[in-house]
Amino acid sequence: MTDLSTTYLGLNLKNPFVASASPLSKKIDRAKKLEEAGISAIVMYSLFEEQIIHESLELDHYLNRGSESFAEAISYLPDGGLYGISPENYLNQVAGLKKALSIPVIGSLNGVSKGGWTSYARKIEEAGADALELNLYFIPTDMDMTSSDIEDMQVELVAEVKSAIKIPLAVKISPFVTSIPNFVKRLVDAGADGLVLFNRFYQPDFDLDELEIVHSLDLSTSADLRLPLRWISILYGKVNADLALTSGIHTSRDVLKAMMAGAQVAMIASELLWDGSPQRVKEILSHTQAWMNEHEYTSIKQMQGSMSQKSVKEPAAFERANYMKVLGSFRDLP
C-alpha cells in the first residue's frame, strides 16, 4: 500500500494535500467536506493587522468621544465593513473548526509591522490552532526605504510573533526578495519552523470607462507552479525548516512535482474555488496514488527532494546553464 503520509510543522499528516489560506475555511460545513474528501490540514483565511488595529482604534474612539485625533486615526484605515469579520469572530471560527474537524487547523495572521496586534498570535493559539502561518505581504512605496530596512522589519516581526507562542510558526513570503536563500535563513534563525512559498500579489487594473481602479481576483493556474517549484528545489536540504509549496497546485502532477522538489506539503485553493467541489481533492489524491503505484514509489517520503538541487555543487551555475539552454532553444524553431 502506498504511504501518502508526511510531516509538516511537527504535525503528522495523512497526505501532503493542505487547503491553503482562503475563503474555503470560512464555513465549517465546507471545511468538514474537505476533510471527508481527504484534505490533511486546513489553513484559516488570514486575520489582517489592519483589522485588529481598526477595531482597537474604533474602541478607543468611542471610549474617548470628542478627541479629534482618534477620529482622524480611524479615517486612515478602510471602513470596517471591508473586512467582513471581527478579530473576535475569527478566534471563534478557529475554535469552531477545531471542534468540528479531526485534522490540524493552522491559523493565519497577515501583517508587516511590530506592535500590539501581534498579541493575537497567542490568542489564535489559545483558540486551539495547531500552528500559525504568518503572511508577510508588503509593497514598499517609500523611496527612502531600502531592501535591508524591509527585511530587517520582517525578521523582527517573525521573532516577535515566535516569542509570543508555543505552537509551530510558518512564514509565508514574497518571491520579490534580492536573495531568497539569505532571507529565509534569517527568518529561520528568527524562529520560523516552516516556509510557505510564495505569497501571490494581486495587481489592480484600470477601468478606462469609469476611470476607476479595479480590484480583481485572478486564480492561479498550473503555470504558476514553476516559481515556487524552482526555489523549493534550491532551498531543500539547506534550511532547517519545513517547506510548503503554494500557488499552482491544480492536478496530481503538480502535487508530485512539489514533493520531488522537496516540499513537505502542497497547498491548494484556486482549484477548489474554481471547481467548487470538495470531491476534486479525492480525485487528485487518487491520481497521485495511481501514478506512484505505476512508477513503483512506496511513499511520499521516498520521493521528497529527489529532484532538488541538493546534489548540485554550484546551484547558481546550474541556474545559469538552464537559463542559457532555454533561451538558446529559440534558435531551433523553424
Query: Mean pLDDT by 10-residue block, N- to C-terminus, for the chain (334 residues)?
Result: 95 98 94 97 94 61 39 42 71 98 97 90 98 92 94 97 98 94 98 95 84 84 94 95 96 97 96 87 96 96 91 60 58 57
pLDDT score at 71: 39
Range of the domain at 65: 6-309
CA angle 56, 165, 84 (to 5 degrees): 35
pLDDT score at 136: 94
Strand partners, 42: 19, 105
Q: Establish if 84 belongs to a structural domain.
A: yes
Report the largest interatomic distance among the alpha carbons of the chain, rounded to a whole angstrom. Answer: 75
Positive or negative, the CA dihedral 254, 255, 259, 263 is: positive
pLDDT score at 315: 63
Runs of H (alpha helix) within the chain: 28-37, 49-63, 68-75, 87-100, 119-126, 147-164, 180-189, 226-235, 252-261, 270-275, 279-294, 300-303, 315-328
pLDDT score at 58: 41
pLDDT score at 195: 98
Half-sphere exposure for 46 (CA within 13 Å, toward CB)? 16
Half-sphere exposure for 107 (CA within 13 Å, toward CB)? 31
pLDDT score at 94: 97
Q: Establish if 148 belongs to a structural domain.
A: yes
Q: Establish if 25 belongs to a structural domain.
A: yes
| Span between the terminal Cα atoms of the chain, in Å | 48
pLDDT score at 179: 95
| Residues 55, 182: Cα–Cα separation, whole Å | 36
CA angle 220, 222, 228 (to 5 degrees): 85
CATH number at residue 117: 3.20.20.70
Phi-psi label, residue 60: left if phi above 0, alpha if psi -120 to 50, beta otherwise? alpha
pLDDT score at 229: 95
| Residues 332, 334: Cα–Cα separation, whole Å | 6
pLDDT score at 73: 40
Tally the domains of the chain: 1
